Each structure stands twice: as structure tokens, then as C-alpha cells.
């Protein structure tokens, strides 16, 4: 990884000084496969176009060594379109700043044994191996081809002693449990209790979570003596889910028919969409909305124009056929026009949940307690 990016991550606080030597010594590009994919928005249908290292070496290197995520697999390794064009991202190399953030929250110490769920390219496992020793890292990857690539990349980088298991990450890896730390590079809506059971008391779990369907969050939990994992949501992140927890692709579609648009209810609101859609605004508000508005998926699409305040907020409940859409721009609003359709008035629900959060004194994210037991998981607001 180039030194300037490491310096930027240090300056931003995503990367802590104790991890800097590993980020400098383990370049991400050494783990990126020769074929990656980029989205071509000019295409209809499948729009993930392959980019081959030998055909575009400069662009490949720019992407592989940059601070954005890199798509490394589409359609579970079987692109649906001609010439390798894909429709659905099924694996990617995460943004370095997100990797650094998660490792910061993992809080490792010398001698710790770590279980990683979702090996992907192998880069995160290599960073852990650089810091802790390769024999202290076990990683589980469900996809055979991804696991094979990771093993080769780890071996080539000098970390061949990392144990890479091809298997279902939701089950963890009991043979070498318990672990001092567990980190997941895949998200889950229900945190598998096997992860808690395989982490020693006092051990730490860092995992992207869709426990609140409304928004992707990063959870950091500590395992207690009675086998409960207790912690907080510490940031907002968006990861692909465990394969057995994937959602129906239809739930990800934000659209409406002409008839629905014609019969939609039109109202106005003074609430800016960022206040209910962006974790960067107030993570506590996002958690409050997610706990109070169930079966609601959000699509928040800020304008791609630099320094623009324009964009669109979508809310959908596929089962009831309800949706809400709020378009906003700097020339119109507040108030902003809201269109809602179906038996649920999703915007009204979300706005009411946001108002409840305000009435509670705008509790921050650290007031929300996330716990996992053999009986399931709970999210609750604690006293100040």
C-alpha cells in the first residue's frame, strides 16, 4: 500500500499507529486477483464489466492500491452475462479505511488467536498475521475458489501458516476454539451464537450487522463469563451478508409503476433525508429508527455532483407493497415533497421514530446495548 494512503488513514483516525507497520508492509494489491469488475452504468441489465490486469495494468493497479472497494467476484463465480459481465457483486476487497476501522475496534494484543469469518482475498488475514503471527490466525471462507486464491496469495506473501478453511463461516471453526478475537468480513442479520460460544470470556467480536434491516452497522461486543456477548454499534458500514442470510434480490429494487405513482399520497416534510438516512449525521437516530420501524429497507442516494445537497431517499416494504420516496435538492425545500404508496405510510413511521429519538434527548449510539445469547439477540436503549 502506498505510503501516502497510510498517512491519510492515520490522519483521519481510521488507522491507529500500532497497525501502521502492517499496512505499510502488506500491500493490498498483492492480494487482488488479476480479474476484477467495475460497474458500467451505461449498460442495461447486467452491468459489472470485467477488467483484466494484463489488458489494463495501469488502471488495475490504481484500483487495487486505492482506498475504494474492489469487486473481486460476481454471481458466485459464474458471471451471468456474455464476456464475463456480471449482475451481482458476491465478493469484494473492502475499502482500506473500513478494514483499518474494524481492526482498530478488534483491539488485538500480542499472543491473541483470531478467527476471521470471510477470507475473501486474504488481505485482512495477512494483516492479522503480520501483527500476531501467521500461526495465530484462522480464516473461514465458504467459496472454494476464493479460499484457493487466498491460500496462494497468503503463501506468496510469506504467511502460508495462516489456516484457511473452506466451510460455512456461520458455524465458526470449533477445532481450534476458543479464540481471543473474532472478526467477520461478512454481515449478518442474526449473529450466529456459534461465534459467541467459540470466543473465550473477555474475548471480543467485531462484526458488520444488519440486525436493524434499516441500516448496516458495525458491532463490537465482549463475551462475558455466562456466555453472553454484549456491546455497542460503533459505526455504520455496509457489507455483503452471510450466504444463508442473503435477502431476496427483489427487496433491493427501488421503483414503482405508473399506476402506483398516480395513486401515491403526496405530503410535505421539513425533515432533511440525511437526518433519517445517514449514520454520519447521528448514528443514535439511525438505531432508534431501525428498532422502531420493522420490515423497512432504505435506499439513500445522495447526488454524485460534488458539494451537492441533492438526492433521493427510498423506503420500501416488499411484503406489503408499500414504498415512500423523497426527492430533494437545494432549490426546492424545505419543505420536501414525499410520495407514499401502499397500506403502510413508511415515511410517516420513520419520521415518527425520529421524533421519538429527539424526545428522548437524542441518545447517542453508545446508549444502545446490543446483546447476543443462545436465545437470540436484543437491542435496547439504556439509561443515561
Q: Which residues are catalytic?
A: 94
**87: helix, strand or coil:** coil
The tally of CA atoms less than 13 A away on the side-chain side of residue 69 is 18
Residue 152, classed as helix, strand or coil, is: helix
H or E segment to which residue 380 belongs: strand 376-381
Cα separations (Å) of 23 from 150, 159, 184, 186, 339?
18, 15, 19, 21, 47
The sign of the dihedral angle between the CA atoms of 353, 375, 183, 68 is: negative
Residue 196: closest CA among 165, 162, 227: 227
Distance CA(342)–CA(325), nearest Å, equals 12
DSSP, res 43: S
Q: How far apart are CA 21 and CA 30, in angstroms?
A: 16
Question: What are the contacts of 5-11 at 24+ separation with CB within 8 A?
Answer: 5/65, 5/66, 5/67, 5/96, 8/67, 9/67, 9/96, 9/97, 9/100
DSSP string for 243-291: GGGPPPGGGG-----HHHHHH-EEEEE-S-THHHH-TTT-HHHHHHHHH
User: How would you class 51 by CB atoms within 10 Å of its CB: exposed for 0-12, middle for 13-18, buried for 19 or more?
Assistant: middle
Given a contact cutoff of 8 angstroms between Cβ atoms, the answer to whether 69 and 80 are in contact is no
241-272 burial: b if 16+ Cβ within 10 Å, else e = bbeeeeeeeeeeebebeeeeeeebeebebebb
Amino acid at each position: 500500500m502506498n505510503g501516502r494512503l497510510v498517512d491519510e488513514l492515520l490522519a483521519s483516525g481510521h488507522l491507529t499507529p500500532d497497525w501502521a507497520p502492517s499496512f505499510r508492509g502488506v500491500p493490498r494489491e498483492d492480494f487482488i486477483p488479476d480479474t476484477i469488475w467495475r460497474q458500467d452504468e451505461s449498460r442495461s441489465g447486467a452491468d459489472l464489466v470485467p477488467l483484466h490486469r494484463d489488458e489494463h495494468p495501469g488502471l488495475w493497479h490504481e484500483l487495487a492500491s486505492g482506498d475504494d472497494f474492489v469487486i473481486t467476484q460476481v454471481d458466485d463465480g459464474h458471471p451471468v452475462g456474455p464476456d464475463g459481465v456480471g449482475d451481482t457483486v458476491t465478493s469484494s476487497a473492502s475499502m482500506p479505511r473500513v478494514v483499518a476501522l474494524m481492526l482498530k475496534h478488534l483491539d488485538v494484543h500480542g499472543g491473541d488467536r483470531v478467527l476471521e469469518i470471510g477470507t475473501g482475498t486474504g488481505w485482512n488475514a495477512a494483516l492479522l498475521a503480520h501483527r500476531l503471527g501467521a500461526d495465530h490466525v484462522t480464516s473461514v471462507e465458504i467459496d472454494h475458489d476464493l479460499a484457493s486464491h487466498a491460500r496462494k496469495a497468503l503463501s506468496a506473501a510469506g504467511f502460508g501458516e495462516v489456516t484457511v478453511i473452506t466451510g460455512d463461516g456461520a458455524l465458526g471453526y470449533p477445532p481450534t476454539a476458543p479464540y481471543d478475537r473474532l472478526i467477520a468480513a461478512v454481515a449478518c442479520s442474526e449473529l450466529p451464537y456459534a461465534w459467541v460460544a467459540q470466543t473465550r470470556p473477555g474475548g471480543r467480536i467485531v462484526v458488520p450487522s444488519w440486525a436493524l434491516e434499516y441500516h448496516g452497522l458495525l458491532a463490537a461486543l465482549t463475551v462475558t463469563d455466562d456466555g453472553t456477548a454484549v456491546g455497542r454499534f460503533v459505526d455504520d458500514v455496509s457489507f455483503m451478508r452471510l450466504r444463508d442470510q442473503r435477502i431476496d434480490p427483489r427487496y433491493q429494487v427501488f421503483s414503482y409503476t405508473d399506476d402506483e405513482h398516480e395513486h401515491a399520497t403526496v405530503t410535505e416534510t421539513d425533515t432533511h433525508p440525511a437526518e433519517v438516512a445517514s449514520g454520519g449525521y447521528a448514528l443514535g437516530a439511525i438505531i432508534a429508527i431501525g428498532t422502531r420501524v420493522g420490515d423497512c429497507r432504505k435506499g439513500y442516494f445522495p447526488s454524485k455532483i460534488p458539494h451537492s445537497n441533492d438526492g433521493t431517499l427510498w423506503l420500501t416494504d416488499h411484503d406489503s407493497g408499500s414504498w415512500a420516496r423523497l426527492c430533494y435538492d437545494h432549490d426546492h425545500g424545505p419543505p420536501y415533497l414525499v410520495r407514499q404508496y401502499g397500506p403502510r405510510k413508511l415515511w410517516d413511521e420513520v419520521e415518527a421514530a425520529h421524533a421519538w429519538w429527539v424526545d428522548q434527548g437524542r441518545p447517542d449510539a453508545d446508549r444502545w446495548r446490543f446483546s447476543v445469547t443462545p436465545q437470540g439477540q436484543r437491542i435496547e436503549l439504556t439509561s443515561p
